[in-house]
Amino acid sequence: MKADKVRDYDNTELASEIQQAKEQLFRLRFQLGMGQTEGLKKYRGLRKDQARLLTVQRERELHPETAPAEKAKKKGK
């Protein structure tokens, strides 16, 4: 995941991606604790992705004008 791609997310997409990364890291940490070390490379990559997501989120907290506009949601019946 590239930082440029992350910067294109709106705030709700960014928050959901951060939540998904936290859940995936939890599962991988659990697996590593059980002795399944096949996911070590994936674990390291996820940590870096989460850091990118959190960095972009912090940038937006400091400079909210840089965030892309929220996408309009369709109203259902």
Does position 75 have pLDDT exceeding 70, yes or no? Answer: no
Q: How far apart are CA 32 and CA 45, in angstroms?
A: 14
pTM (predicted TM-score): 0.75
Residue 17: partners with Cβ closer than 8 Å, 6 or more residues away = 6, 9, 53
pLDDT digits 0-9 by tens, 28-71: 888 888 887 677 888 899 999 999 999 999 988 888 887 777 76
Buried b (16+ CB within 10 A) or exposed e, 33-64: eeeeeebeeebeebeebbebbeebbeebeeee
Domain spanning 3-62: which CATH class is it, in words?
mainly alpha
Q: In the numeric block, which tokens belong to residue 64?
A: 């909210």
- pLDDT-based confidence at 72, cuts 50/70/90? low
User: Hey, where are the domains in the chain?
Assistant: 3-62
24 φ/ψ angles, rounded to the nearest 5 degrees = -65, -40
